[in-house]
Amino acid sequence: MSARYVPSAVKRVLPSEPKFALWLFCFVLTGLPALCGQVPQTPDLVPTAAALDTLRNCGSTLSTGAPDLSIKILNSQRALSEGLLTGWGQTRDGWNVEPPPEEYVKQLSLEAEGCVAAANQLTDPAKQKAATETLTVISEDLRMKAADCRAGEWEGR
């Protein structure tokens, strides 16, 4: 039985040492979720994460039709995600973060749905002005929510 030839470049990229395998496993376990922007969540945070994801999608959709509103919504969404899902880097019991009150999440979800509905109406010239006004109100409310969240003050708290 002859030994298999492995090019030296492959040996440099994929060492066969157990330390490398352990390092790779630890990186995937701890580093990959952070690189992807995903944070382990408690089940209580799933509705909040869903509303924030809808806002992110809405903001991305607006990037061509209303870039200024898109930037405002995406900035607020990022700030709210950091605050509501990670507690601004503060942890309680490991990764668990205290979820916002149910009423707050319901209102956030309604704003996310309203954002999507208004974004879909931007292509209709007859509804464009009303849709832009709605999106402006939503973006301002999200900006205030993000500021309140940063200060640790949200409705119902």
pTM over the 0.85 mark: no
* pLDDT computed for residue 43 by the predictor: 80
The predicted-structure confidence for 87-130, as pLDDT tens digits, reads as follows: 766 655 555 577 888 999 999 999 999 999 999 999 999 999 99
Answer whether 49's CB lies under 8 Å from 41's CB. Answer: yes
Which of the two residues, 15 and 131, has the higher pLDDT score?
Answer: 131
- Non-local (6+) Cβ contacts of 52 within 8 A are 77, 80, 81, 84, 85, 108, 112
Average pLDDT, integer, range 77-91: 81
Which of the two residues, 49 and 33, has the higher pLDDT score?
Answer: 49
* pLDDT computed for residue 19 by the predictor: 54
- Non-local (6+) Cβ contacts of 108 within 8 A are 48, 51, 52, 55, 80, 100, 145
In the chain, where the domains are located:
8-38, 40-151
Hey, what are 23's tokens?
């390092």
Selection from 79, 80, 75 nearest residue 51 by Cα: 80
What sign does the CA torsion over 70, 71, 72, 77 have?
positive
